[in-house]
C-alpha cells in the first residue's frame, strides 16, 4: 500500500511539473531589442539579391508594456505600436486597435527570436513566407569586438568612441531626428531647401556635449537648431561598453527639399519600381536614372539601380552605386560589395 501511495504521489508531482513546464513554454514573453541577422524564405532558401530585404538592417524593440517598435536604423527605437501574443502568433495593432500585421513566432529564447512574415498570398506556412532570424542586440554587440576604427579619440584614460551598431547612445523617444524636426517645426523654422550636418558627444552620464555644426543652413536656423538640441539634454541614455557607460561621438543630418526635388524623384521611383518588379531592368534603369538625378541620396533607388546595372552586364556601374550607399553611411549594400566588387 505504501509503495502504491508513493508511486501515485511521485506521478502526481511529475505531472504537476510537466504541466507547469508546458504552460511556461506556451507563455511566450518578449522584451528588449532584437536585431535581424538573416532574412530567408521559410524553407531557409536565400532571397535573391534583387530583394532588398536580404541585406536590410532591421531592429524590433519590445517593452513590458506590450509595445513594439520597428526601425531600420540602429540608433533609433522607431514608432511604438501595441502587440499581443496569441499562441505562437505576434499580432501588431495600430493605435486605433486595428490589426496591422500578424507574424508567427517560430522560436523564442533570451538571445534568439525567429519570426515568420506572411507570403504574398497571406499564408504563414507558404514556402514563400519570409523568415527573420534575429538575436538580442546586447548579445550581438558582445559578439562584435571593437576595433581601432571604432574609436574617435584617446586622451590619457579618456576614450571617445564613434557611434555605430556596436556602440551608441540611445535617445529616449522613438527618434532624435523626428524630435528635432518637430521642435524646429513648432518654432516655424522649416526652410525650403538646405542641409544641416552636426556632430556631438554623449558623455558617460548621458548628457549631450560639444555640439559642432559642420554645415549650417543660415544663422537664424542654426541658432534655433542649437536651442532644439539643448532642449533634449536630459533625454539620452549613455552608450555601454563592457557593461560600463562610455563617451560616444554622434552625428545628425537634417535635410530639407523643395517639391521640385521630391516630386520628380517620387514619380520616377514609382515607375522604376513597377518595371523592376516585372524584371524589365532596361526600363527600370531609365527611371532610376531620372529619380536619382532629382535626388542622388535615395538609398533604395541606388540599391535597385545597381541590381539593374549588374543584370545588364555593367558590374562596375553596379559597384559604383553600392559604394555610394556605403559613402552615405548605410550598410545595405555591404554584402553585395563583398560578393561582387572585390
Domain layout of the chain by residue ranges: 32-141, 144-256, 259-340
Secondary structure class of 63 (helix, strand, coil): coil
Whole-angstrom distance, CA of residue 16 vs CA of residue 65 = 30
- What 3-state DSSP class applies to 142? helix
Q: Is the model's pLDDT at 153 over the cut of 70? A: yes
Q: Model confidence over 161-210: pLDDT tens digits? A: 999 989 999 999 999 999 999 999 887 766 778 899 999 999 999 999 99
- In this prediction the pTM is 0.79
CATH 1.25.40.10 matches 259-340: yes
Q: Which residues make Cβ contacts (< 8 Å) with residue 147, sequence separation at least 6? A: none
303: left (phi over 0), alpha (psi -120 to 50) or beta: alpha
Does the pLDDT value for residue 3 go beyond 80?
no
97 near 78, Cβ under 8 Å? Answer: no
Lowest mean pLDDT among 24-28, 62-66, 213-217, 304-308: 24-28
Three-class secondary structure of residue 20 per DSSP: helix
Distances (CA, A) of 283 to 275, 292, 313: 6, 14, 15
* Listed range (54-68, 126-140, 168-182, 275-289) with the worst mean pLDDT: 54-68
Q: Which residues, 6+ apart, have CB-to-CB distance to 47 below 8 Å?
A: 39, 40, 41, 53, 54, 130
CATH homologous superfamily of 32-141 equals Domain of unknown function DUF4822 (2.40.128.540)
Is the CATH number of domain 144-256 3.30.70? no
313-317: list long-range contacts, CB under 8 Å, 24+ apart.
315/340, 315/341
Partner residues linked to 132 by β-bridges: 39, 115
Mean pLDDT computed over 51-68: 89
Q: What is the DSSP letter of 72?
A: S
- Supply the pLDDT for residue 9: 41
Q: Which three three-digit cell numbers place residue 285?
A: 534603369
Mean pLDDT of 37-42: 93
Amino acid at each position: 500500500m505504501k509503495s502504491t501511495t508513493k508511486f501515485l504521489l511521485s506521478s502526481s508531482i511529475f505531472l504537476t511539473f510537466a504541466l507547469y513546464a508546458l504552460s511556461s513554454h506556451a507563455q511566450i514573453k518578449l522584451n528588449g531589442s532584437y536585431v535581424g541577422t538573416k532574412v530567408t524564405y521559410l524553407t531557409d532558401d536565400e532571397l535573391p539579391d534583387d530583394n532588398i530585404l536580404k541585406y536590410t538592417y532591421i531592429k524590433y524593440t519590445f517593452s513590458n508594456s506590450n509595445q513594439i517598435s520597428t526601425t531600420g536604423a540602429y540608433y533609433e527605437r522607431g514608432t511604438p505600436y501595441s502587440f499581443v501574443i496569441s499562441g505562437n502568433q505576434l499580432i501588431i495593432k495600430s493605435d486605433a486597435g486595428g490589426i496591422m500585421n500578424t507574424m508567427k513566432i517560430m522560436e523564442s529564447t533570451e538571445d534568439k527570436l525567429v519570426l515568420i512574415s506572411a507570403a504574398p498570398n497571406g499564408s504563414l506556412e507558404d514556402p514563400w513566407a519570409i523568415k527573420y532570424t534575429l538575436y538580442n542586440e546586447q548579445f550581438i554587440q558582445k559578439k562584435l569586438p571593437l576595433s581601432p576604427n571604432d574609436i574617435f579619440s584617446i586622451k590619457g584614460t579618456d576614450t571617445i568612441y564613434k557611434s555605430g551598431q556596436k556602440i551608441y547612445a540611445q535617445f529616449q523617444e522613438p527618434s532624435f531626428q523626428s524630435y528635432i524636426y518637430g521642435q524646429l517645426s513648432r518654432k516655424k523654422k522649416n526652410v525650403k531647401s538646405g542641409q544641416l550636418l552636426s556632430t556631438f558627444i554623449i558623455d558617460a552620464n548621458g548628457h549631450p556635449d560639444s555640439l559642432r555644426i559642420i554645415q549650417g543652413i543660415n544663422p537664424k536656423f542654426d541658432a534655433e537648431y542649437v536651442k532644439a538640441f539643448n532642449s533634449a539634454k536630459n533625454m539620452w541614455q549613455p552608450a555601454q561598453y563592457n557593461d560600463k557607460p562610455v563617451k560616444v561621438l554622434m552625428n545628425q543630418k537634417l535635410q530639407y527639399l523643395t517639391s521640385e526635388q521630391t516630386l520628380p524623384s517620387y514619380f520616377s521611383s514609382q515607375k522604376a519600381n513597377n518595371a523592376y518588379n516585372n524584371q524589365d531592368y532596361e526600363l527600370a534603369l531609365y527611371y532610376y536614372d531620372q529619380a536619382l538625378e532629382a535626388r542622388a541620396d535615395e538609398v533604395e533607388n541606388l540599391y535597385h539601380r545597381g541590381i539593374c546595372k549588374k543584370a545588364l552586364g555593367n558590374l562596375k556601374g553596379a559597384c559604383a552605386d553600392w559604394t555610394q550607399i556605403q559613402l552615405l553611411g548605410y550598410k545595405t549594400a555591404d554584402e553585395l560589395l563583398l560578393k561582387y566588387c572585390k
